[in-house]
Amino acid sequence: MITLQHMLTLSAVLFSLSIAGIFLNRKNVILLCDSVACWMLGCDNLKSHISSKLGIDYGQTTADNQFTLIPVPCLGDCDKAPTMMVGDVTYRNLTPAKIDTILAECKARG
């Protein structure tokens, strides 16, 4: 059943994707969930890991235009938090090691 919360979440994600993907026209837009469940399970540490690895903060893009990092509200997968999206793929149960793999795969795809 689709609830109002799901629709609002979808709207927020689509808005973020529009802003990030269309207006900024970046290759790999990382949408890192920073809502409650993800926050409780360490999204701040993951954000620090991504920032350290890529040298960017929220709202910034790497010098090679490969990655943009944006915080987003709940992606609707709270039971598999922490989560993020890159393109149209949602990544769940994230750890720094998983993020390293994801970033390497994204970079290899270009």
Tell me the C-alpha distance between 70 and 97, whole Å: 20
Q: What is the DSSP letter of 18?
A: I
- Based on the shown chain and the rule CB under 6 A, indicate whether residue 61 belongs to the binding site for ligand FES: no
Please report which helix (H) or strand (E) contains residue 51, including its range.
Answer: helix 43-54
In this chain, which of 29, 31, 46, 75 binds ligand FES, going by CB under 6 A?
Answer: 75
- Based on the shown chain and the rule CB under 6 A, indicate whether residue 35 belongs to the binding site for ligand FES: yes
- Based on the shown chain and the rule CB under 6 A, indicate whether residue 36 belongs to the binding site for ligand FES: yes
Contacts with ligand FES, residue ranges (CB under 6 A): 33, 35-38, 74-78, 81, 83
